[in-house]
Amino acid sequence: MGTYSVVVSNSTGAVTSSNATLSLVVPRPTLLKQSPQVIQWQGLSNLAYTVQVRTNINDTNWATTGTASSPSANVSFTNQTDAAQGFFRVTYP
């Protein structure tokens, strides 16, 4: 991520391009519940994700329940919380 330019040259001279900004856009993951405790999603490899949960859909406070990462695009998280019901979300930096 950052601002970049390129210099192109040949025997008649050189020219520098305008600056271009390169940014990383991480797709929003779609969570799949594999079992009552396992959540899986497609993400970017080697990115640290934070898994948050709340037990009431009307609650605005999310509690961090753990983190997950994977060397591949398939990321999974095993929930250790014993709540009978939970609403999950995944965030990343």
Q: What residue ranges do the domains of the chain occupy?
A: 26-91
pLDDT digits (tens, 9 = 90+) for 34-73: 777 888 988 888 888 898 988 888 888 998 988 998 888 8
DSSP code of residue 79: -
Instruction: Give the residue with greater pLDDT, 88 vs 18.
Output: 18
pLDDT at 5 over 90: yes
**pLDDT score recorded for residue 80:** 76
Distances from the Cα of 8 to the Cα of 5, 11, 52, angstroms: 10, 11, 48
How far apart, in whole angstroms, are the C-alpha atoms of residue 87 and residue 58? 10
Return the amino acid letter for 83: A
